[in-house]
Structure 1
């Protein structure tokens, strides 16, 4: 069913279609959509979902548009693929991909569909102008209800392994001169994909925590802090006074760890770590923005500060090092039942 709303994809002008049943491979719910801009989040990615042949896919949403010129005033949506088994090989595949957006008012999924050849040099395809942002954010249109919108994705890899046959004229055994060629494809939709929700949080304040490490210069191995809370999440800091890995013996290494994850949970946070200068001359501080998950639960710097610099005035007072951690939780991604 064609819908009257029109938008232009990256390749051609493609109109929205609608259907009743939900996407087969991914359902991606975003809560508090308007806070994306407020929190400075200009790109969000779903978890990966895997199809046959060891290919992994993910949905990428650009709330402010992917390109300033082509995607201005629009929300952009793309599907990206990666061959995990042979990342350096000259792989390619043909696929029919669809990107969905739920219209709560109509109780239907609106989607745009296209056929694409994916390969190592061109692993993404989608729409820089998936939907006009004003259309999406206007509650009367039914896409954003209680600050919540739902995206989805389907991918069907096309393999030319079907039956190929010729119909002959039974009266004389010859091919019919006035010939034509028909064909058919059938993709059975099974709802076994990923279902997840991203809750965008209003960043009203950050969580600060101060750690004191005694007898710092005498520590040989790693030092781990006690767990502390930032929001509803637990964290800890790991310090290598003599360095970690390639920086062993030359730098102090510091890492922030997110402790404990519920099933399918991911946490996006703005973080900063600094070694406090107790003489109030100036702190050694680093900042980063990171999506923490069960498989990627830590982030930090192997070369946070040269070991020799720890002898500067104020870094160690009474052989005590003070580390300050500041965390602002921006979003939480969790699995939907």
Structure 2
């Protein structure tokens, strides 16, 4: 089927004068970014104080790329109230000194009502230029945010949306990712008993456990110095938090082993220290997008060591401390080859 011109415009955007918008049936040839919950993405970015979501790395035309989505607009480029979408080149260290790439790219937004893709590209096949000091290109004002959010326009339906990019004319390779809806795992709680922790100066690892198909573990360091205290922490990636709480608080973190690879995992979870005399547990709730850039996520000052070490308070019994993690919801960014919820 031939491409159809669309009458929809990006009102108030200077970029609209230099871009052409078409509707077409075919999906993007190089990469698709599917988001199953746009509101959840906004919440994650807000809590992590981030402005954009970067896709996994993908290959097209012999280079490595990422899509960078600003769901509230790239305010540094005066695009508040718009959706901003950029293509960024990655792994440029392998390129020769003085490299420069000339390209034209087409950005996509799925119209779920018409089941067609709105394509936005430069007029007359205009080339864009990337080099060492300019590694991204795209549209700061891809679409007005209120137009995007209006379900009558078809771009955001039941909180789901799809973006994409083509770097050049090429056959569709089926590469892409899906930010899946979070679900509560069937077996949500993992319990770990740490025995004689006060007698060891060495780091301890819990057994690796699987929830909702993802592998996790909890890391513990037990040390005795001027009395009893325990650290539950990631030594390599949390040095500041460790030093700030040293000898004062119990620190407790959760790590996703899958996030050390290319898999991005979102989890909402509860960390707790069990009261062993039928009293009230110590419990804190956290949520985090595990990207592999950190060793874990949790609390540097989970609870005062004086409270933990006081055996009359019921948390430490016969040298044993019981730690639990309960998963409230888990989601992940999956490649399309792994499958994604409808």
The alignment's TM-score, normalised by the length of structure 1, stands at: 0.66
Report if aligned partners of 1:259, 1:297 keep a CA contact under 8 Å in 2: no
Which of 111, 115, 135 is matched with 1:103 structurally? 111
Post-superposition shift, 1:215? Answer: 1.1
Q: Deviations over 1:56-105 (max 9, x none)?
A: 11112222222188222222211111235438955432221221112233
Post-superposition shift, 1:236? Answer: 1.6
In structure 1, distance between residues paired with 2:287 and 2:84: 25
Where 2:7 maps in the other structure, the secondary structure is: strand
Report if aligned partners of 1:9, 1:130 keep a CA contact under 8 Å in 2: no
In structure 2, distance between residues paired with 1:60 and 1:67: 14
In structure 2, distance between residues paired with 1:238 and 1:28: 34
Report if aligned partners of 1:9, 1:128 keep a CA contact under 8 Å in 2: no
In structure 1, distance between residues paired with 2:147 and 2:160: 14
Where 1:314 maps in the other structure, the secondary structure is: helix
Report if aligned partners of 1:271, 1:327 keep a CA contact under 8 Å in 2: yes
Q: Please, which runs of 5 or more residues in structure 1 have no aligned partner?
A: 157-187
Report if aligned partners of 1:99, 1:153 keep a CA contact under 8 Å in 2: yes
Which of 18, 30, 33 is matched with 1:28 structurally? 33
Post-superposition shift, 1:4? Answer: 2.0
Which of 6, 18, 23 is matched with 2:9 structurally? 6
Report if aligned partners of 2:77, 2:140 keep a CA contact under 8 Å in 1: no
Q: Deviations over 1:222-250 (max 9, x none)?
A: 42223456666442212244785697x98
Greater helix proportion: 2
Q: Which residue of 2 aligns with 1:124?
A: 136
Post-superposition shift, 1:134? Answer: 2.4
Where 2:104 maps in the other structure, the secondary structure is: strand
Where 2:296 maps in the other structure, the secondary structure is: strand
Where 2:120 maps in the other structure, the secondary structure is: strand
In structure 2, distance between residues paired with 1:254 and 1:12: 54
Report if aligned partners of 1:240, 1:253 keep a CA contact under 8 Å in 2: no
Which of 304, 308, 318 is matched with 1:314 structurally? 308
Report if aligned partners of 1:20, 1:109 keep a CA contact under 8 Å in 2: yes
Q: Which residue of 2 aligns with 1:92?
A: 100
Post-superposition shift, 1:130? Answer: 1.0
Residues 16/260 of structure 1: CA separation in 2 closer, same or farther (3 Å cut): same
In structure 2, distance between residues paired with 1:36 and 1:68: 20
Report if aligned partners of 1:80, 1:124 keep a CA contact under 8 Å in 2: yes
Residues 144/94 of structure 1: CA separation in 2 closer, same or farther (3 Å cut): same
Q: Which residue of 1 aligns with 2:78?
A: 70
Answer yes or no: is 1:289 the counterpart of 2:288.
yes
State the number of aligned residues: 293
Where 1:5 maps in the other structure, the secondary structure is: coil
In structure 2, distance between residues paired with 1:88 and 1:319: 60
What's the RMSD between the two structures over aligned residues?
4.5
Q: Please, which runs of 5 or more residues in structure 2 have no aligned partner?
A: 224-233, 311-315, 338-342
Residues 196/284 of structure 1: CA separation in 2 closer, same or farther (3 Å cut): closer
Answer yes or no: is 1:218 the counterpart of 2:199.
yes
Q: Which residue of 1 aligns with 2:313?
A: none
Where 2:75 maps in the other structure, the secondary structure is: coil
Residues 126/315 of structure 1: CA separation in 2 closer, same or farther (3 Å cut): farther
State which drifts further: 94-103 or 107-116. 107-116
Post-superposition shift, 1:137? Answer: 2.4
State which drifts further: 216-225 or 264-273. 264-273
In structure 1, distance between residues paired with 2:96 and 2:182: 38
In structure 1, distance between residues paired with 2:307 and 2:113: 64
State which drifts further: 136-145 or 219-228. 219-228
Residues 210/64 of structure 1: CA separation in 2 closer, same or farther (3 Å cut): farther
Q: Which residue of 2 aligns with 1:51?
A: 60
In structure 1, distance between residues paired with 2:212 and 2:107: 33
Post-superposition shift, 1:25? Answer: 0.7
Answer yes or no: is 1:79 the counterpart of 2:79.
no
